[in-house]
Amino acid sequence: MSQENEYGAGQIQVLEGLQAVRKRPAMYIGSTDTRGLHHLVYEVVDNSIDEALAGYCDDIDVTIHDDGSVSVVDDGRGIPVDTHEQYDRPAVEVIMTVLHAGGKFDNKSYQVSGGLHGVGVSVVNALSSTLEVEIKRDGALWRHEFDRGEPKSDGFERVRDLDPDEEHGSTIRFWPDDDVFETTEFEFSTLANRLRELAFLNSGVEITLTDEREQVEVADGDEGETEPRRERFRYDGGIREFVEYLNETKTPLHEDVVYFEDEEEGIQVELAMQATDELQGSIHSFANNINTREGGSHLTGFKTALTRVVNDYANSNGLAGEIDGNLKGEDVREGLTAVISVKHPDPQFEGQTKTKLGNSEVRGIVESAVHEGLGTYFEENPDTARMVVTKAVEAAKARQAAKKAEELTRRKSALESTSLPGKLADCQTRDPDEAELFVVEGDSAGGSAKQGRDRKNQAILPLRGKILNVEKHRLDRILENNEVRALITAIGAGIGEEFDIDDARYRKIILMTDADVDGAHIRTLLLTLLYRHMKPLIEAGYVYAAQPPLYRIRYRGETYDAMSEAERERIVEEECDGNPTQVQRFKGLGEMNPDQLWETTMDPENRILKRITVEDAAAADRMFSVLMGDAVEPRKQFIKDHAGDAEWVDI
């Protein structure tokens, strides 16, 4: 028997300690790209938030240092430093090096926590080239150091006694291991979005984010005086202020944010909501500070009770009008912004990603809280109640009118027919895992793509012009657009309430637009459609943006593609000695011949695809409202704030 085919006890590897984390990091943090990198920070911050939930922490400072490390400082109780009986080592060392070691399993140290698996900070330690921890407790400052998860032999020490007025707390500073991560460059905005969210969800806790890499002018300082970029988040109004923040780009129908809270069986429920004149609703649910993007029992309970309360009020006050039957959930939620937050001593999340809450008892508790709280609010605030109900009735009338209209008949035939749109050049494979759909800007580029593609697994759908801005229209109006209907039919999974991702004909939907302003606008319009009406496609990672090059540079028989002006300049100087044979600028995909389009943008061996993801649903929701909504002022402010980020290209 050859050695390659042997499979016995000798081939069974046992990964001890943190070796398993370093061997398979994606199992613990999701990925080793920028998303996984930032997850390290969240794991450390979550420990500080748990201290805040327990009532021992008020301030959390997160700093991105100019040496590539991140530190998290809190004023909590401090990580225990006494000797752990089972391991005969300092407790802080056990916490940092042993998986599933933590103080969150027995509900004694922490009544409520988001980190229930005991793998958080030990995983951060395993995936860091260096980690340092300083602890102020038990009357002293303690220090420990780790090297790729392993404690340094002389790393644990009592540094000094604490001053009488010195506060207790913990400081963890880590350097992510560049042998593990694709990038170790932290993004300020990504961290800010999550820390802002945590501050909203934990009223009274102040979280400060500082970036030593970027200097800004001191607001009230001397001319030329600078300091590190810093942003503070503190919201004493909690999720009420969260709703106000989400609605900054919208027009609320009533001034006050509806808020109520309840507690039953140790489960805390908080809810804040406000109706707006928008067509798109914005509802976000959280369990123990974790964004449950897939919803769960708490969201189901909220939706059920909300629909029932609004219907009861409409019927008892004669506000239902001439609508046929009761209001539906989609009518009631149109234009509604809401945040539901539950704190559970023993949450059961479905799946490794913790994006869906599974506790069945939570549904009834939330239903009861919403039924009582919202019902009481409506009785005490009849003007607000009337506005909310009137908005829902208008949505129901529009929905029911659409059913009777000729447009719905066209929709039915378009979405339920087995015939595919005529402009679609479909691929040969019927396996969705292999099939790719390129959504291409313009017939000219579509023609090149059809000729240059791999017919076996690449389908081409050219779109003419810019599709409707779906942020401003209801579904019946959206479906009048021929290009939208062609895209829906090609994907094959339906739209809106009828959408079923299991019916998607492609697992890769690639938006291929020109690398110019118009192309970016078309891509944004398409992403708005997908985010608002086919969101599971984005959540499943099926949506990509192609990255066609702006320039093709030739020099001594070699060909180089540049994605930007800066990259072109670098290639010309470094690869071509400042004297290229030819520099060709692609003004659009339609200018490329089929071979060029295949080589640069469609060939899996050479192409660059950017996967579209939604890490922070609330931030994404707000950004789509800013960019595509009716309010002009927030969009102008966004352009002013980010004008300096633009890259100017000579044409």
Binding-site residues from annotation for Mg(2+): 441, 514, 516
**Cα 629 to chain centroid, rounded:** 20
Of these residues, 516, 565, 615, 630, which one is catalytic? 516
The DSSP line for 298-314 is HHHHHHHHHHHHHHHHH
Query: Tokens in use for 613?
Result: 């993801």
Does residue 518 carry a catalytic annotation? yes
Does residue 616 carry a catalytic annotation? no
- Give the relative orientation of helices 34-53 and 188-201 as an angle to the nearest 10 degrees: 30
Of these residues, 334, 483, 514, 616, which one is catalytic? 514
CA distance 593 to 447: 9
Question: Is residue 168 within 8 Å of residue 19, measured between CB atoms?
Answer: no
Does residue 441 carry a catalytic annotation? yes
- Distance (Å) of CA 243 to CA 53, 238, 274, 339: 21, 9, 7, 7
Of these residues, 518, 577, 595, 603, which one is catalytic? 518
Q: Considering only CA atoms, which of 414, 521, 540, 413 is closest in space to residue 467? A: 521
CA distance 617 to 75: 30
Is 32 in a helix, a strand, or coil? coil
Q: Is 371 exposed, middle or buried (0-12, 13-18, 19+ CB in 10 A)?
A: middle
CA distance 351 to 632: 40
- Which parts are annotated binding residues? 441, 514, 516
Query: Tokens in use for 20?
Result: 């398993």
Is 142 in a helix, a strand, or coil? strand
**Residue 159 main-chain phi, psi, to 5 deg:** -80, -50
CA distance 494 to 628: 23
Question: Is residue 490 within 8 Å of residue 503, measured between CB atoms?
Answer: no
Question: Is residue 491 within 8 Å of residue 470, measured between CB atoms?
Answer: no
Q: Considering only CA atoms, which of 446, 490, 400 is closest in space to residue 597? A: 446
Of these residues, 134, 197, 331, 441, which one is catalytic? 441
Q: Considering only CA atoms, which of 320, 136, 339, 127 is closest in space to residue 238? A: 339
Active site residues: 441, 514, 516, 518
